[in-house]
Amino acid sequence: MKVPTLRVQWELQLPAYTTATAVADPSQICDLGWRLWQHQNLNPLSKGFDPPHQSDTRTIYIANRFPLNGLYTPQKFIDNRIISSKYTVWNFVPKNLFEQFRRVANFYFLIIFLVQLMIDTPTSPITSGLPLFFVITVTAIKQGYEDWLRHISDNEVNAAPVYVVRSGGLVKTRSRNIRVGDIVRVAKDEVFPADLVLLSSDRLDGSCHITTASLDGETNLKTHVAVPETAVLQTVANLDTLIAVIECQQPEADLYRFMGRMIITQQMEEIVRPLGPESLLLRGARLKNTKEIFGVAVYTGMETKMALNYKSKSQKRSAVEKSMNTFLIIYLIILISEAIISTILKYTWQAEEKWDEPWYNQKTEHQRNSSKILKFISDFLAFLVLYNFIIPISLYVTVEMQKFLGSFFIGWDLDLYHEESDQKAHVNTSDLNEELGQVEYVFTDKTGTLTENEMQFRECSINGVKYQEMNGRLVSEGPTPDSLEGNSSYFSSISHLATSSSFRTSPENDTELIKEHDLFFKAVSLCHTVQISSVQTDGIGDGPWQSNFASSQLEYYASSPDEKALVEAAARFGIVFIGNSEETMEVKTLGKLERYKLLHILEFDSDRRRMSVIVQAPSGEKLLFAKGAESSILPQCIGGEIEKTRIHVDEFALKGLRTLCMAYRRFTSKEYEEIDRRLFEARTALQQREEKLADVFQFIEKDLILLGATAVEDKLQDKVRETIEALRMAGIKVWVLTGDKHETAVSVSLSCGHFHRTMNILELINQKSDSECAEKLRQLARRITEDHVIQHGLVVDGTSLSLALREHEKLFMEVCRNCSAVLCCRMAPLQKAKVIRLIKISPEKPITLAVGDGANDVSMIQEAHVGIGIMGKEGRQAARNSDYAIARFKFLSKLLFVHGHFYYIRIATLVQYFFYKNVCFITPQFLYQFYCLFSQQTLYDSVYLTLYNICFTSLPILIYSLLEQHIDPHVLQNKPTLYRDISKNRQLSMKTFLYWTILGFSHAFIFFFGSYFLIGKDTSLLGNGQMFGNWTFGTLVFTVMVITVTAKMALETHFWTWINHLVTWGSILFYFIFSLFYGGILWPFLGSQNMYFVFIELLSSGSAWFAIILMVVTCLFLDIVKKVFDRQLHPTNIEKAQMYSNTVALSDEFIALQPLSRARNQLSKLSLLKQIQVSSAWTPCVVSQKEKQRAHLLEECWNE
């Protein structure tokens, strides 16, 4: 578009320095002072100063042609390397260790390890050091491997070949060598290596087409244009003559925001051109339908917008993790209490002289004279070390492995695979898997989330007459202004308007009616940002008001599905948008080609809620066409059928249609000159550009003449109603947050089952003041209390919500909590996030989940505890910023009811089992001190202390936490009420935690005292009459403990696979084999071997075997009896569902797999590669072909 050439008039006035030395101090020059020196000297680039580094702007010399004098100091810009890695070779060890020891448990064990090194403790430092080393090493390897992959990816990107203009020629170099100011050449289908300002392309108008699919997922072609002065420089030689400077803002992450200006020197005159988002080519975008372009690098490396969007989101913590930290604190208190009790009892016991210094353990002189306080502290630390294993260090690494490995099952689930779009579920954050089972509130967008976001033109209102499309023809509804008297049922197709006798009451009326419709559809065809991939205009729109083949020969691309549907509809009715050519927009009207000069585009923004274009018609007349929401268009209109159109818009909305209003304005030459001047000033402003543009847009978009309104339909997605109903049955409250108008939102809510006909609908809309809003809220609260209706629904609009959240949050929350469903319409993106924030911080602290598909949903997705992105048609920003991404809203039910349920049960059992088995482990050690005068003698060998959590008991619980399915997935999905049983973190309640803890203590007492009484005093248990010694007693306790805690895990397992059998019984077998080898051989590298032949002697005693079996059975028998009685007398809903699941006799293999018949049908439709990938992921669960057939038959029975 043409912008008048202006000589630069600098508002900034500085003292007139006449010599170079006078301005040698940059501190005397403010932000844009260097340009004053240029203005006073004919050569503007001969001297100058850059703004300071802390400035809001940066100055870039194109081709790095700096001033020739020695006074100029270039700004320092970073290179073009992309660094997504976290570590380097040099900082990996210290940085990784620092991050790991910030975790409380790791730091605690480090302190224990250091204490063992510094003082005389009863256990070897290896007992704490080796588990700590194992956990640190495993985590470091995992993080190091992930970072190594990032290094490989970075190196591939940074080493990509690029072509740069240097020294008058085209030089091939690496991407990492691009500097700010370099002119870069990019060819068709190549990716832009940095953020470039477009200088020229192979087209005369300097335009190019790009796709930003890798940035925001939008696959439509976007047009970018160069300024006219550089657009003509299409060769390297011509570009070498360019003398120009770019001033622009400092880097920021917003992909769609860029402000700057280019100062071009031509014939000793400076020309200023504004630069906006349409001039910036983002790194990561791809050049399309253009042979080549030249651009100057303005942001490089980690300052590109793509890199700035790498910023990690705020860390979300699950409720389970918070419970786990609480339990750790409780166990830390237990540990300190045991250490204090042991220390006090030790000194109480030693108060008697015979125990203080027995004849066999005489003290040295140094010990007798040492400080008692220091001795007390030393003993306390020694007991702390002795009992420290009650804190499960391996819990963290096991939880991390469980979350990481468990997240793959979501991606492998065929039920979450959408065949039409070839998209499977993605997990972006595995830390929140269990949170899927705790959701209490679901906040969902409407368009593209509940609906398909596939728009179809249905109806329109033109000059107060309503029309609808039927079989590709536009038909008026009801009597038209010109219809014959009494012909009330007449429907006229305007596709035959030119020949319709009913409209020919007079030639003047006929001409006027055609003009009205012609202008309306021209507004539709010109006011948009639609692109065309290929132009084939022959035969398009040749018939009057119709083009039956327009859509088959033209393919439109648009960032908004609404725009595409409207332009396609206009093409069907004879006003065909052909495309952009240089600075013109071409349309065919009744077969006649017309060219409109595009003067300005007033871009859409969420505050104005409208967009406009200013064009020059073939007649020379300058017109503004505007479209937007009726709330933003109608108040600006002074003419047209405003009231009739308003009624029609409301009728469209009641049908659930999306509406837009169209209007226009004619400018005189004087008015346009004023508008053009003000737009130029606003667009070239470096400070407060957005505010200035908003003021100018408001000035331009007024005194409009209303043309009419359009209505497009957005169909509901498949099974949306069933999904919302299932969520409600699960006890989850569903809120719909949308930007649509009130009537449209309510209609869609009713059709999708969010609201139902029996629900009492309350409204909080059109509130004008705080007092009015407060009074309305009180009325609603009274109505809820007085009305004896089971369910209420609430409708809130954006303005009323702002008032409610300002001073009446508590009252508003009280009303919302008593409503089953809430609909918020006319919502801004930040309002969506604010609503979720309000619910999150309410006294109940509920778990929230947000679902959305567009960029406007990102804020609420990041605010909620769990964010779900729908991979829809509004790009991939929501999916990229979410924790989980799915293709359709209906998949939410399985994600929550099946995967969320399983993940929560698994990790809840994992956490409590870890604490249970560590209580079993350390309590006998504490009890043993009562029998050894609190001498800090350890009960177990140091190797057993070290390997208990690492090897002997780790795998069964890990496999359980990955594969356990305590209920058939079909039952969970078909009975959403089961979801209520795990809500509010019930499985990790204090009651359940205390049960596991008490169970651990009771089992530990049985281990210790059972062993003590069975092989106690004066009992000969060996064939030669010898008695068991200290290490044999400890080994017996340890053996019973390993078998019992492993068998306890087996009791908790409902779903057995060959992997479960292998690790469960294999762990017990491994313990026996290891103990035989460890105690049966004298290992030369061990200084002392207390366990030599101990285990073999233990197993050679029949009494010992009897004791082991008796104690294991006793421990588990009590647990089994409790489970049986609870299940028979007070069964939970989950236990009832388990019994129901057993009655249908489903095989383990059938439960493990998704339904095999459905899986086969899906796999047969996929490509061979996908068949191999999916089948390899699921085949391990299938035992035999016979079992496959059995599962298939069982599925048929289940369906019946």
| Catalytic sites, residue numbers | 445
Cα end-to-end distance, the chain, whole Å: 67
Q: Which of 749, 745, 810, 744 is nearest to 781 (CA)?
A: 810
The phi, psi pair for 1143, rounded to 5°, reads: -70, -25
Q: Which of 260, 259, 208, 205 is nearest to 228 (CA)?
A: 205
CB atoms within 10 A of CB 1073: 11
Q: Taking the alpha carbons of 241, 245, 250, 253 in that order, is the dihedral positive or negative?
A: negative
82/84 Cα distance (integer angstroms) = 6
Q: Taking the alpha carbons of 1106, 1107, 1108, 1110 in that order, is the dihedral positive or negative?
A: positive
- Token pair, residue 237, equals 């030689």
Give per-residue burial for 954-978: e unless 16+ CB within 10 Å, then b.
bbbbbbbbbbbbbbbbbbbbebbeb
Q: Which of 747, 678, 676, 671 is nearest to 713 (CA)?
A: 747
Instruction: Determine how β-strand 57-61 pairs with β-strand 244-249.
Output: antiparallel
Q: Which residues share a beta bridge with 583?
A: none
CB atoms within 10 A of CB 1133: 13
226/207 Cα distance (integer angstroms) = 6
Instruction: Give percent helix, percent strand, percent coil of the chain, each to the nearest 5.
Output: 50, 20, 30
Q: Are 442 and 727 in contact (CB under 8 A)?
A: yes
Q: Which residues share a beta bridge with 164?
A: 171, 184
Q: Please enumerate, as own/partner, the contacts of 783-787 that have beta carbons within 8 Å and a separation of 24 or more.
A: 784/815, 784/818, 784/819, 787/760
Q: How many residues does the chain have?
A: 1200
Q: What 3-state DSSP class applies to 1063?
A: helix
Q: Are 888 and 718 in contact (CB under 8 A)?
A: yes
User: Which DSSP string corresponds to 535-572?
Assistant: ---TTTT-BTTB-TTHHHH--EE-SSHHHHHHHHHHHH
- Token pair, residue 594, equals 């017309």
274/239 Cα distance (integer angstroms) = 20
Furthest CA-CA distance within the chain:
131
The residue written with tokens 């499309």 in the block is 469
Instruction: Determine how β-strand 161-166 pairs with β-strand 183-187.
Output: antiparallel
Identify the H or E element spanning 578.
strand 575-581
CB contact set of 1005 (below 8 Å; sequence gap of 6+): 923, 927
637/628 Cα distance (integer angstroms) = 12
DSSP 896: I
868/897 Cα distance (integer angstroms) = 15
In the chain, the amino acid numbered 730 is A
- Token pair, residue 41, equals 């000297």
At residue 177's C-alpha, the angle toward residues 174 and 182, to 5°, is 110
CB contact set of 1092 (below 8 Å; sequence gap of 6+): 1079, 1082
